[in-house]
């Protein structure tokens, strides 16, 4: 395996920070998926499989707050990843901001 490929294979394991949310990639492809954290608390789950990408809160099986059908089937095309992950994080953020106003006390 050449050095560039080895680096690429290691990079998918590094967390991604988007707007203060930490995305930890749990599967490289088929599906490409992430657990999303604020501090040590998981607040969302992201998954791309069979051409459908969605964000669920607070984890897998939770409320779907974002979905889209990108070009990638089980892994994003290189020109899609940043756009769709950022859009999903913004939808997650909107969900939690609106939830603060819908409840009283701690949530």
pLDDT average, residue stretch 5-9: 59
pLDDT average, residue stretch 82-102: 92
Residue 17 dihedral angles phi and psi, to the nearest 5°: -105, 125
pLDDT band at 45 (very low <50, low <70, confident <90, very high): very high
pLDDT of residue 13: 76
CB contact at 8 A, 79 and 70: no
pLDDT tens, residue by residue, 53-71: 999 999 999 999 999 999 9
pLDDT of residue 105: 54
pLDDT of residue 7: 58
* Burial class of residue 77 in the structure, from the number of CB atoms within 10 Å of its CB (0-12 exposed, 13-18 middle, 19+ buried): exposed
pLDDT band at 38 (very low <50, low <70, confident <90, very high): very high
């Amino acid at each position: 395996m050449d050095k560039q490929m080895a680096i690429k294979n290691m990079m998918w394991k590094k967390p991604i920070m988007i707007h203060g949310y930490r995305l930890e990639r749990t599967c490289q492809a088929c599906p490409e998926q992430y657990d999303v954290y604020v501090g040590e608390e998981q607040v969302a789950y992201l998954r791309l499989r069979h051409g459908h990408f969605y964000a669920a809160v607070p984890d897998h099986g939770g409320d779907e707050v974002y979905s889209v059908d990108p070009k990638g089937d089980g892994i994003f095309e290189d020109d899609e990843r940043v756009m769709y992950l950022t859009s999903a994080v913004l939808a997650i953020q909107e969900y939690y901001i609106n939830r603060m106003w819908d409840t009283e006390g701690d949530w």
